[in-house]
Amino acid sequence: MVQTTWKAIAPVPTSQEFLDIVLSRTTRKTPTVIRSGFKISRIRAFYLRKVKFTQDTFTEKLQAILDGFPKLQDIHPFHKDLMNTLYDADHFRIALGQLSTAKHLIEQVCRDYVRLIKYAQSLFQCKQLKRAALGRMATITRRLKDPLLYLEQVRQHLGRLPGIDPNTRTLLICGYPNVGKSSFLRSITRADVDVQPYAFTTKSLFVGHFDYKYLRFQAIDTPGILDHPLEEMNTIEMQSITAIAHLKSVILYFMDLSEQCGYSVAAQVQLFHSIKPLFANKIVFVVVNKIDVVKPEDLDVESQKLIQTMLQGGDVEMLQLSCHTEQGISEVKNKACERLLAARVEQKLKTNRATDILNRIHVARPIGGVTREAFIPDAVKEKAKYDVNDPNRRKLEKDIEAEEGGAGVYNINLKKNYMLDNDEWKFDKIPEIFDGKNVYDFIDPDIESKLAALEAEEERLEAEGFYDEEESIEDDEEADIRVKADFIREQKQLIRNASRSKKALKNRAVIPRQKMPKNMSEMKNSLEKIGLDASSVLDRARSKSRGRSAAGRSRAGSEMGGDVEMRDISMHDISQMTLKERAKSRARSQSNRREDGVTDEGARTKAEKIAKLNQKKMNRMARQGEADRHVSAALPKHLFSGKRTIGKTNRR
Amino acid sequence: MRIETCYFCSHPVYPSKGITFVRNDAKAFRFCRSKCHKNFKMKRNPRKLKWTKAFRKSANKEMVVDSTLSFAARRNVPTRYSRDLVATTLKAMQRVSEIQTRRERAFYKQRMSGNAANRRAADRKLVEENQHMLPEVRARLQQQAELSDVEETIQEEAIAVAIPARQRQAKRQVQAGDAMDIE
């Protein structure tokens, strides 16, 4: 790809700046401290390095400038000619040549002084040699003042040149000054070109881009050309000539028949003829501008004849437009683009690449040249064309909607389009759920045959006795056993419940069953429940139990002896007396537990022995009591596990 | 609208009931209630939970192989609506469910058939081991007692007389009110 724009050339410094850059770089990047006491080889190396480094930097910088600028022999002829007209190719080449020469000179200076420094005897000598070397290099650089300035200007101008691609689709607009070339560019592209009512408003090439058929086109506006020999043309005109000569494009030669531009029709026709040699192998259009003022038909016969001379040869076409009224602009543009595209395609087809592609394309055809036409059903062919004004026209869904109340009210009925065996069924409500089942799961075209098969199976099973209920009638003995077993189970459950409720005592003292008091009524009930007669047992128990009255009697008798002392106490405080008496009598009524149930001294000792013996086992087992000292847990887990809030105890 | 079945317990889920979970591979799981949903989230296997149909089916507690069960199926061939077909289908559905319940009952009977003998054997064993708990043993004793009623009263009086006076006195001191010891 040949370069077409040079917007990124590095700035070219002036000679003084150039010198500053190189020398400061040398001081920055090389060692600066040296002493006369150092070894001479070290001193020499120090200065050699300085000189060589400076030379390297010079070469590098100069080479960078040389590489940044385009080489005239490498670029497209259009750009080459354009640069020639704008910057003068000789001047440009000489400037670059001077830079190159300077580079060589500096290299030579470096070589000479390196050789000298190698034999220097002292630090002072080395230093002087270095100074001389750098001084000479600086002198060479200072001589580059003019070329550097010139190159900087060229760089700035190159950067601002429009990016013209010589190979792309291009419309080239040319003609006398002030005939409306820039107006046309403005009207077909987005380019913001200056349009003024005087000649040579456009002093250089301008580019605008536009799209046609999804392809990018560039339109180039050229400065006006006057009709005089090529040698007399100025730089501005030469740019136009360069563009016309070198770009493969459609040439739009603009004319102003109204002569408002200040040039006669004859002059304009003359110019066309004089630059005609440049139009060889190009598509040329003569575009008549300002037709809102004068049209070609309105001209006098002489001028018309002149114009006809332009169109001779047949390959030049005349188009008309008016930038002022925008009449015919797009027609001109489209026509030009069409012709350009056709020409480019034609040109491409001539190359080998096109034939390569064409060879690869294969279109299959029916064997034997049979023609296969598209099948169109008769119904479609006979269908009457829909016409809004026809009273017998087809009724569309839209019409129905309008009849039924319009959009938002009418609800489209899709059921009417159902394709069913019977049209009456269209609006049936289909059950979805039946007896807790999905109806759709059962819908099956051959359900009847399946059901018949099931019925047959059912009959077979019934015949086989699959459903026979074997009522096993249990005999009397079995029934008896069952009743008994049920009874036993119930009883067991009752026992279980009773013992469970007994366990509900939990921590309270357990009274031995023998010592539990039982009511006579309870005993009677339970005996009767078992089926025993309780009367005899109850009679016996009653006869043995002590009656209330008897107990009272005995108590009264015992009091007789004990109350003697009480009589001696003064009787005035009767209430106090009665209280005390009552307390005493209560104390007396509680029998001495040591003596109770003991007949004589022998029985007593015996009872005590038995008591001790009973206690012995208990003492030996050493059961824990609540009076004993008790530590529930040495290290209660909840107090010693887990991390502390402070963040210690990291052993866990 | 259709009645779905719960993914977990196979209970029917009516429209608007339950909750649906759609996995990121687009498989939809319908649950009849939060219990099933929670169990699913806990990654429990419905085959191992006794309360699910999956368990009952895998443990042979329900009829699994039967021709009536093949009637309801998801057919992936669309059938065009026909009034006659739907009418016969509805009738067939009723008949099929009738037969199905009958067969399920037969299945249940079959499943429970061995239990009667086991129960009888267990009853016999229980009665044999727990004869003493039966009221009829006591009734027999009572009958015997009634026969020798007269003798007994005489005996009783004799016992009453035979109890020594001193012993009687001691007992009186211990006992309080109506309460007495019985064994």
- pLDDT for A565 equals 45
Residue B13, H or E segment: strand B12-13
| Closest chain B C-alpha to A187 CA, distance in angstroms | 58
User: Picking from A54-68, A396-410, A622-636, B156-170, which range would have the lowest pLDDT averaged per residue?
Assistant: B156-170
| Angle of the A329-350 helix axis to the A181-188 helix axis, nearest 10 | 80
User: Picking from A305-309, A333-337, A604-608, A622-626, which range would have the lowest pLDDT averaged per residue?
Assistant: A622-626
Q: Do A466 and B106 touch (CB under 8 A)?
A: yes
Higher pLDDT, A318 or B104: B104
Backbone φ/ψ region at A614: left (φ over 0), alpha (ψ -120 to 50), beta: alpha
φ, ψ at A3 (rounded to 5°): -70, 140
For residue A172, the cross-strand partners are A220, A251
- Report how far apart the first and last C-alpha atoms of chain B are (Å, whole number): 74
Residue closest to A181 by CA, chosen among A267, A281, A287, A88: A287
Q: Do A488 and B126 touch (CB under 8 A)?
A: yes
Among B80, B133, B159, select the one facing A491 at the smallest CB separation: B133
Among A454, A488, A515, select the one facing B133 at the smallest CB separation: A488
Residue A556 pLDDT exceeds 70:
no
Rounded to an integer, the average pLDDT of A252-262 is 81
- pLDDT for B149 equals 62
- Give the separation between CA A503 and CA A34, rounded to whole angstroms: 110
Q: pLDDT by residue (tens digit) across A69-112? A: 888 888 888 888 888 888 888 888 899 999 999 999 999 999 99
Beta-carbon count within 10 A of B47 CB: 12
Higher pLDDT, A253 or B171: A253
Per-residue pLDDT band at B135 (split at 50, 70, 90): confident
Determine the residue of chain A that is closest to B133 in CA distance: A488
Q: Do A444 and B173 touch (CB under 8 A)?
A: no
Specify the pTM.
Answer: 0.45
Task: Identify all chain A residues contacting B85, using CB atoms and an 8 Å cutoff.
Answer: 443, 445, 447
Q: Do B156 and A450 touch (CB under 8 A)?
A: no
The answer to whether residue B28 neighbours chain A at the CB level (below 8 Å) is no
Residue A282 pLDDT exceeds 90:
no
- Give the separation between CA A268 and CA A459, rounded to whole angstroms: 114
| Closest chain A C-alpha to B37 CA, distance in angstroms | 22
Per-residue pLDDT band at B62 (split at 50, 70, 90): very high
Task: Report whether A245 contacts A276 (CB < 8 A).
Answer: no
Per-residue pLDDT band at A450 (split at 50, 70, 90): very high
Q: Do A532 and B79 touch (CB under 8 A)?
A: no
Residue A280, H or E segment: none
- pLDDT for A21 equals 92
Residue A329 pLDDT exceeds 90:
no
| Angle of the A145-160 helix axis to the A89-117 helix axis, nearest 10 | 130
* Residue of A447, A470, A480 to mutate when probing chain B, most B C-beta within 10 A: A447
- pLDDT for A558 equals 44
Q: Do A443 and B102 touch (CB under 8 A)?
A: no
The answer to whether residue B132 neighbours chain A at the CB level (below 8 Å) is no
Rounded to an integer, the average pLDDT of B121-135 is 89
DSSP character string of A495-530? HHHHHHHHHTTTTSPPPPGGGS-B-HHHHHHHHHHH
Q: Are strands B12-13 and A250-256 parallel, antiparallel or unpaired?
A: unpaired
Higher pLDDT, A376 or A3: A376
Task: Identify all chain A residues contacting B3, using CB atoms and an 8 Å cutoff.
Answer: 433, 436-438
Residue B173 pLDDT exceeds 60:
no
Asked whether this complex has an ipTM greater than 0.90, the answer is no
The answer to whether residue B111 neighbours chain A at the CB level (below 8 Å) is no
Residue closest to B64 by CA, chosen among B113, B103, B6, B98: B103
Residue B174 pLDDT exceeds 80:
no
Determine the residue of chain B that is closest to A483 in CA distance: B123
- pLDDT for A501 equals 81
Residue A652 pLDDT exceeds 70:
no
Rounded to an integer, the average pLDDT of A297-307 is 78
- Give the separation between CA A6 and CA A159, rounded to whole angstroms: 6
A106-115 residues labelled b (16+ CB within 10 A) or e (exposed): beebbeebbe
Q: Do A540 and B160 touch (CB under 8 A)?
A: yes
Q: Are strands A433-434 and A437-438 parallel, antiparallel or unpaired?
A: antiparallel
- pLDDT for A559 equals 44
Task: Give the angle subtended at the CA of A260 by the CAs of A259 and A265, to the nearest 5°.
Answer: 15
φ, ψ at B21 (rounded to 5°): -115, 125
Higher pLDDT, B138 or A557: B138
Q: pLDDT by residue (tens digit) across A212-228? A: 888 888 888 888 888 77
Residue type, A56: D
Tell me what the pLDDT averaged over chain A comes to: 83
- pLDDT for A549 equals 52
Q: Are strands A250-256 and A283-289 parallel, antiparallel or unpaired?
A: parallel
In chain B, positions 75-104, which contact chain A (CB-CB < 8 Å)? 75, 79-83, 85-86, 88-90, 92-97, 99, 102
Residue type, B183: E
B62-95 residues labelled b (16+ CB within 10 A) or e (exposed): ebeeeebeebbeeeeeeeebbeebbebbbebbeb
Residue A289, H or E segment: strand A283-289
Task: Give the angle subtended at the CA of A512 by the CAs of A509 and A517, to the nearest 5°.
Answer: 100
Q: What Cα–Cα distance (Å) separates residue B101 from each residue in A469, B68, B110?
A: 15, 10, 14
Residue type, A97: G
Rounded to an integer, the average pLDDT of A13-37 is 90
Residue closest to A15 by CA, chosen among A141, A154, A150: A141
Range among A303-307, A359-363, A418-422, A472-476 rated most confident: A418-422
Task: Report whether A196 contacts A244 (CB < 8 A).
Answer: no
- pLDDT for A304 equals 78
Per-residue pLDDT band at A567 (split at 50, 70, 90): very low
Q: Do B156 and A514 touch (CB under 8 A)?
A: no
- A337 token code pair: 């683009």
Among B86, B109, B127, select the one facing A485 at the smallest CB separation: B127
Q: How many CB pairs under 8 A join A and B?
A: 172
Q: pLDDT by residue (tens digit) across A125-147? A: 999 999 999 999 999 999 999 99
Q: pLDDT by residue (tens digit) across A436-445? A: 999 999 999 9
Higher pLDDT, A506 or A600: A600
Q: pLDDT by residue (tens digit) across A372-388? A: 889 999 999 888 888 88
Tell me what the pLDDT averaged over chain B comes to: 83
Range among A282-286, A541-545, B28-32 rated most confident: B28-32
| Closest chain B C-alpha to A622 CA, distance in angstroms | 31
Looking from the CA of A414 toward its CB, the CA atoms found within 13 Å total: 0
Rounded to an integer, the average pLDDT of A395-400 is 88
